[in-house]
Amino acid sequence: MKNSHVIQFDQIEKSFGAAKVLQGVSGYVDRGEVLSVIGSSGCGKSTLLRCLNRLETIDAGEIYVNGMDLSQPNLSRKQLREVRSQVGMVFQQFNLFPHLNVLENLTLAPQQVLNKSSAESQEKGRHYLAQVGLSDKADAYPEQLSGGQRQRVAIARSLCMEPKAMLFDEPTSALDPELVGEVLEVMQKLAENGMTMVIVTHELQFAREVANRVMFLDRGLVAEEGIAREVLTNPQSERLHTFLSRMRQASIA
């Protein structure tokens, strides 16, 4: 496989027991590009994301991230740390350490994984807190923050590793509706600043406006893929047309 892209995956297969979750999924993400992955629950979106930073191993296929072959079955701990430092991941449920304050959450990995000094890590942490609009929350604990603020802290924590790309697994799905906008605004700014991103989301308007391309997964297969505005405005497959109609109805209800 050529590895000229930041992220490239070819014919990925992944099963959990008898359930085939990914059945030959291929795609790529270029530098500074935003790929949005959409589809119904259970179609394989989150599994694909977890394979791209080796939280899950694949059964078949190839994955390259920044030229590193993630298809190898026995990557060393050092190699896995390198992959996860280069590819940040933001989850649905924030995954912040409750016993650490915000700044401590941000500085832990740079010190332990990248061997950064405390002073350098704190400087970076405050810089990225400012970027997500939370400069005044450095000493707060996660339980003192709203869901939107916690997710913005999670984004800042990932940025502190200065990754080459970021993966977002439905980052707004656990938020109250009035808090969704503040997280999407931060993600939009990242896109405008050239961050390479893969975003699993149900926020179709956001995908249309921010993503360069959209990939629609259906039952573990790529059912449709292309330029975001074109795919979401004029779907070619009946499956995507049905999915988009249901999503629009759900947003109105």
pLDDT at 103 over 80: yes
Token readout for 106 is: 């941000």
Would you call 187 exposed, middle or buried from its count of C-beta atoms within 10 A (0-12, 13-18, 19+)?
Answer: buried
Domains and CATH numbers, the chain: 7-252 (3.40.50.300)
Model confidence pLDDT, tens digit, residues 42-98: 899 999 999 998 999 999 999 999 888 988 888 888 888 888 888 999 998 888 999
Helical segments of 160-203, H only:
177-192
Distance between CA atoms of 219 and 119, rounded to whole angstroms? Answer: 48
User: For position 1, what pLDDT does the model report?
Assistant: 47
What pTM was estimated for this model as a whole?
0.92
pLDDT at 3 over 80: no
| H, E, C per residue of 134-145 | CHHHCCCCHHHC
Distance between CA atoms of 61 and 15, rounded to whole angstroms? Answer: 13
